[in-house]
Amino acid sequence: MTLEELYNEHQKEVKGGYALTKVGSYIRERNFVPGRGHSNGYLFVAEAPGTAEDATEEPLVGDSGKLLRKILGELDFPRPNFFTNVWKWQPPRNRTPTMAEISRGIQVLVPEIRLVSPHTIILLGNTANRALFPNSRLLRGVLYEHGSYRFMATYHPGYLLAYRNPQKVSVFKEHLRLAVKGG
């Protein structure tokens, strides 16, 4: 299966205005936002698309994504990079995805990870961390090896924007540096 086939299969679940998702919740038609980028490098996993992502059908292009890319540029972060979300549609009122949505999203995220074949997966925020490690959340800033991948949990850039704490931004940058040193 290719990424395109995976996304086409998942995208068919919501069509025509409001639709009942497989997780039993009604959502208004939103754009499906597939992952984007290049394989065999760093995979960044966020929680769900926001308004800008829904409009462009590109992950992490809103304010959070702009901050992430700015910081990656400042750090001269290596490439290739791939960006995706746990849940591929913008939730109503831009809320955090529900556990049912996370459970459904993981059914796409896990094969997506296999197809992208990253060496390091950076989990942006609690939702991504909880999705991939529901029974044992990873500590932020610690590089873990699990299976054939390395994982680093860190802050979601939206958290950094919301709290505007320079110390947290510094910690976030250090987490990314550690991911590169280990990756």
Q: Any bridge partners for residue 133, and if so which?
A: none
The domain total for the chain is 1
Q: Please count the other Cβ atoms lying within 10 Å of the Cβ belonging to residue 133.
A: 15
Q: What is the pLDDT of residues 46-101, one digit of tens each?
A: 999 999 999 999 999 999 999 999 999 999 999 999 999 999 988 888 899 999 88
Global pTM reads 0.91
Q: Please report, for the domain that includes residue 85, its CATH number.
A: 3.40.470.10
Residue ranges with strand state E in 81-142: 81-85, 120-124
Q: What is the pLDDT of residues 161-176, one digit of tens each?
A: 999 999 999 999 999 9
Domain that holds residue 96: 3-182
